[in-house]
Amino acid sequence: MQSKCAPVESTIASAQYRVSTDELVTLLSLARSRTLAQAALQCGVAASTVFRTVQRMEQGLGRRLFERSRAGYRPTELGEQLCRHALAIEEALQAAHGACALTDSEVSGVVRISAVDAVLHRFVVPALGSMLAAHPMLRVELQGSNALRSLTHRDADIALRSTDRPPEHLVGKRLGAMHFAVYAGRGLKRGQRGALSLPQLAAMPWIGIDEAMPDHPGVAWRKRMLPKVQPVLQVNSMVTAVQAIEAGLGVGVVALFHAAQRKALVQVSPTLDHCEIGLWLLTHPESRHLRRIAAVAGRIEQHSLSVGVDGQRDPPP
C-alpha cells in the first residue's frame, strides 16, 4: 500500500532530485519480486506505473537502479542502498501501527518464512497453528526454497537452513544436527532382511536431488561411497523424493526426522557416518527484535527443540 508522505531527501541522490516515500515503496517491491507485474500487484498500481517510476528515478539520479535480465530486475549497488532506506521506513510504519493497534501481548503484521519443503512441513507448519489462532492480526507467508533467500530485501524475515557455516551477516541459532539414512519403499525392500550392503545399494535404482540441492549431505555421501551410481530419477525437492521412494521407484538418502513421519518408508542402511548437517534458524540483525519476527522465531525454535531435529535413530528392520 502506498503512503502519501512528504518527500525525503536521499543522502545518495543528487541535490536536484528528491526521492519520495512512494518511490522507495515501489523500488523495494520491485527488488523483492524481480518483476514489474508482481511489484505492481504489491503496490496496487499498473505495471506501467512501476516502470515509469523506476525510469523517472534513474533519470533524476543519473544512475541505474536495476540491471535487467531474463532472471528479472536485480538492484544495483545504489538500488540496494535505497532499498535499505525503504526497509527502515517500512519497519518504522509497521512498528507505529502495531503500537497503536495492539495490547502488550498481541502480535500483528506479516512474517515471511523460507525453508525447504521438508523443514517447513516438520518444524514450521505445526508450530504456527496455536500462534495464528491466538493472534488474529498476524499473517505468515511460507516460501519453499532450496536457496538462502535475501533477508536483506525481506524476501524472507526468517530462514531455516541446513548448513554448518551460516552467513556471518545474519543472526542465527543452531537448532540441532540432522542425520540421514538410506530408505526404500516397502515394495522395493520386499524379501530382504536387515540393512543392505554397499554393493546391494549400488545395484538399486536411486532417486537423486543433485541438481536442485548439490550441497545436500546425502548427495555428497552417495558420490563418495557409491561413485558409479547414477540416479534413475532426478527431483527438485525432498518431499517429491520421498514420495518417489515410497512409490517404489528407487532408494534415496532421507533425513531421519522426515522419514520418521512416513510409515511407507523402510530404512535400509544404518545412520550414515559423516553425513550430518546443522539446522539453523536465521534472521536479519536489524529486524530480529521486531515483535512479530521475534515471536514467530521463538515459537518455531520452541517447537523444533521439543520434537527434535535429529529424529529417531533406530536400526533398520
Q: Per-residue confidence at 150, pLDDT binned at 50, 70, 90?
A: low
Considering only CA atoms, which of 122, 236, 245, 247 is closest in space to residue 178? 122
- Specify the pLDDT at position 261: 83
Q: b/e per residue, 154-178, with b = 16+ CB within 10 A?
A: bbbbbbbbbeeebeeebbbeebbeb
- Specify the pLDDT at position 7: 47
- Specify the pLDDT at position 2: 42
What is the full DSSP assignment across 129-176?
HHHHHH-TTEEEEEEE-SS---TTTTS-SEEEEE-SS--TTSEEEEEE
Q: Per-residue confidence at 278, pLDDT binned at 50, 70, 90?
A: very high
- When pLDDT is averaged across residues 303-313 and rounded to a whole number, the result is 78
Mean pLDDT rounded to a whole number for the chain: 84
Task: Give residue limits of the domains in the chain.
Answer: 21-99, 103-317
Global pTM value: 0.65
- Specify the pLDDT at position 6: 42
Indicate the range of 60-69, 84-93, 155-164, 224-233 predicted with least confidence.
Answer: 84-93
Q: Per-residue confidence at 244, pLDDT binned at 50, 70, 90?
A: very high
Which residue did the predictor score with more confidence, 212 or 315?
212
Q: Cα separation of 106 and 118, whole Å? A: 30
- According to the CATH classification, is domain 103-317 in 3.40.190.290? yes
Confirm whether 21-99 and 103-317 share one CATH topology.
Answer: no
What CATH number has the domain spanning 21-99? Answer: 1.10.10.10
Cell (9 digits) for 315: 536400526
Q: Taking 80 as the threshold, does the pLDDT of residue 200 lie above it?
A: yes
Q: Tens digit of pLDDT for each residue in 2-39? A: 444 444 444 444 557 888 888 998 998 898 888 999 88
Percent of the chain with pLDDT strictly greater than 90? 42
Which residue did the predictor score with more confidence, 280 or 285?
280
Q: Taking 90 as the threshold, does the pLDDT of residue 316 lie above it?
A: no
Cell (9 digits) for 2: 502506498
Indicate the range of 42-51, 233-242, 280-289, 307-316 predicted with least confidence.
Answer: 307-316
Cell (9 digits) for 161: 537452513
Q: Cα separation of 234 and 197, whole Å? A: 23
